[in-house]
């Protein structure tokens, strides 16, 4: 029997965290064959070269494609999308997959979706139907309209995708595949394992209490990233005793601005008890979240993984506005005082209960089974 060739495009370290266990499930499935394209920021050392982790995990890319135009502005993001389409279409034409998998809502995702659609290759979209109050919203919903099959992460998202006119039998809610890592791996953290992530700044003892800070630029308020990240840094500085783990931002427009905030903070020597990391493996990132006393910033992982694990989190600003969330999350404005208050309260509160809002794990296997089952060539119709 011919296996169905499922081509996964991994275009950022966040992407990889999401689909790793789906990739493993496809690889292990009797009726499926994995094709892997890695591209964009996965290849860049400034963003932690996720490609190295991907290879260590036993995956062999069929194609590696550079398509990030440097600049991290809105303009270069558009251009990166354009070049991504040019090159991904050549790769798809060559690899001839039976379906292409794309994740979430960023510009790399968009390039994948457009290229696959124009080539009449069935498009599988993960994590559609969510709302986050951002340019990402438009892109995510536009991809929903291009996609043939939708694997959403929550019940609310499932309903929303269907309300947008997608046929219910093409929309599946098996939860978010990024939860899988939390189930498959022990969540204990230890200094020996973590030693390989050097980072810069104060020394860290992973066995002691720490706050995790991850703050990405917000593309709709492009240009304010420097101010925004400074508010958070100032708030956390008022908690001198507890250790602070900070991750550099992703490659969105404005990331230069946020990075600059972090760099200036360090140069000024205000970084006592702060340590800065480029990235972690998906598993180790799961451990870092799981063991944090509080997560601060605007990463969607605080809402997803945080909800699953019950980690107290403070979401700042509007990057995740409108996104479904569990009880573990409180909101703060771009304001050092407000952030300080909310973080203090969350530290006080301590851990929340597990909440299955984003699924209960094993999502990768469920999606792989579904991909084997469905007729990928089904003709797409709008329900109204």
Neighbours of 187 (CB within 10 A): 15
Stretch that binds a copy of itself, among 20-28, 186-194, 214-222, 331-339 (CB under 8 A): 214-222
User: 32-39 and 4-10: which strand pairing?
Assistant: parallel
Pick one of 16, 59, 67, 280: the residue that binds a copy of itself (CB under 8 A): 67
Contact code string over 21-60 relative to a copy of itself, x by CB under 8 A: ----------------------xxxx--------------
Residue 278, interface with a copy of itself (CB under 8 A)? no
Question: Which residue, 119 or 347, has its beta carbon nearer to a copy of itself?
Answer: 119
Question: Which residue, 96 or 207, has its beta carbon nearer to a copy of itself?
Answer: 96
Pick one of 137, 185, 234, 335: the residue that binds a copy of itself (CB under 8 A): 137
Residue 90, interface with a copy of itself (CB under 8 A)? yes
Cα gap 318→307, rounded to integer Å: 18
Pick one of 78, 168, 350, 356: the residue that binds a copy of itself (CB under 8 A): 78
Residue 175, interface with a copy of itself (CB under 8 A)? no
Q: For the segment 332-371, give every residue that binds a copy of itself (CB under 8 A).
A: none
User: What is residue 248's DSSP assignment?
Assistant: P
Q: What Å distances lie between residue 233 and 202, 226, 367, CA to CA?
A: 15, 11, 40
Q: Token match 């991994």: residue?
A: 10
- 208, burial (CB in 10 Å: exposed 0-12, middle 13-18, buried 19+): exposed
Shortest approach of a copy of itself to residue 203 CB, angstroms? 13
Contact code string over 224-263 relative to a copy of itself, x by CB under 8 A: --------------------------------x---x---
C-beta of residue 251 within 8 angstroms of C-beta of residue 41: yes
Pick one of 10, 143, 282, 295: the residue that binds a copy of itself (CB under 8 A): 143
Residue 223, interface with a copy of itself (CB under 8 A)? no
Contacts of 268 (CB under 8 A, 6+ apart): none
Neighbours of 328 (CB within 10 A): 26
Question: Which residue, 130 or 180, has its beta carbon nearer to a copy of itself?
Answer: 130
Question: Which residue, 148 or 180, has its beta carbon nearer to a copy of itself?
Answer: 148
Cα gap 51→96, rounded to integer Å: 23
Shortest approach of a copy of itself to residue 64 CB, angstroms? 8
- Of 258, 286, 294, nearest to 361 (Cα)? 286
C-beta of residue 19 within 8 angstroms of C-beta of residue 8: yes
Q: For the segment 189-208, give every residue that binds a copy of itself (CB under 8 A).
A: 200
Stretch that binds a copy of itself, among 1-9, 90-98, 334-342, 346-354 (CB under 8 A): 90-98
Neighbours of 304 (CB within 10 A): 28
- Give the chain's length: 384
Structure tokens at 117: 């659609």
Residue 142, interface with a copy of itself (CB under 8 A)? yes
- Of 100, 319, 343, nearest to 209 (Cα)? 343
User: What is residue 300's DSSP assignment?
Assistant: H
Shortest approach of a copy of itself to residue 246 CB, angstroms? 16
Question: Which residue, 78 or 188, has its beta carbon nearer to a copy of itself?
Answer: 78
Cα gap 251→28, rounded to integer Å: 32
Cα gap 324→347, rounded to integer Å: 22
Interface ranges with a copy of itself (CB under 8 A): 43-46, 63-71, 73-79, 81-87, 89-90, 93-94, 107, 110-111, 114-115, 117-120, 131, 135, 137-139, 141-146, 160, 163-165, 200, 219-220, 222, 256, 260, 267, 322, 380, 382, 384
């Amino acid at each position: 029997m011919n296996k169905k060739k499922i081509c996964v495009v991994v275009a950022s370290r966040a992407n990889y965290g999401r689909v790793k266990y789906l990739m493993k499930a496809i690889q292990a499935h009797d009726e499926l064959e994995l094709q892997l394209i890695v591209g964009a920021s996965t290849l860049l050392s400034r963003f932690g070269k996720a490609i190295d982790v991907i290879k260590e995990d036993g995956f062999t890319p069929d194609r590696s494609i550079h398509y990030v135009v440097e600049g991290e502005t809105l303009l270069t993001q558009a251009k990166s999308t354009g070049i991504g389409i040019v090159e991904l279409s050549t790769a798809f034409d060559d690899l001839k997959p039976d379906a292409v998998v794309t994740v979430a809502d960023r510009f790399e995702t968009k390039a994948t979706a457009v290229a696959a659609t124009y080539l009449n290759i069935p498009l599988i979209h993960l994590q559609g139907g969510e709302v986050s109050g951002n340019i990402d919203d438009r892109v995510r919903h536009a991809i929903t309209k291009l996609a043939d099959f939708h694997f959403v992460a929550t019940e609310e998202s499932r309903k929303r995708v269907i309300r947008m006119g997608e046929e219910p039998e093409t929309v599946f809610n098996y939860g978010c595949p990024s939860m899988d890592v939390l189930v498959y791996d022990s969540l204990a953290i230890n200094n020996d394992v973590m030693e390989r992530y050097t980072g810069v700044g104060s020394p860290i003892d992973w066995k002691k209490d720490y706050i995790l800070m991850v703050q990405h630029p917000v593309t709709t308020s492009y240009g304010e990233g420097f101010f925004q990240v400074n508010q958070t840094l100032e708030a956390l500085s008022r908690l001198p005793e507890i250790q602070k783990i900070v991750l550099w931002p992703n490659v969105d427009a404005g990331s230069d601005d946020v990075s600059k905030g972090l760099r200036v903070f360090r140069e000024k020597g205000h970084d006592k008890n702060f340590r800065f990391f480029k990235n972690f493996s998906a598993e180790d990132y799961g451990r870092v979240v799981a063991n944090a006393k509080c997560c601060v910033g605007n990463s969607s992982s605080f809402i997803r993984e945080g909800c699953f694990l019950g980690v107290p989190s403070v979401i700042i600003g509007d990057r995740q506005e409108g996104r479904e969330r569990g009880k573990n999350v409180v909101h703060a404005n771009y304001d050092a005082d407000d952030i300080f208050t909310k973080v203090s309260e969350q530290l006080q509160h301590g851990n929340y209960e597990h909440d299955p809002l984003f699924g209960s794990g094993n999502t990768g296997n469920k999606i792989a089974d579904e991909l084997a089952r469905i007729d990928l060539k089904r003709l797409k119709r709008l329900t109204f």
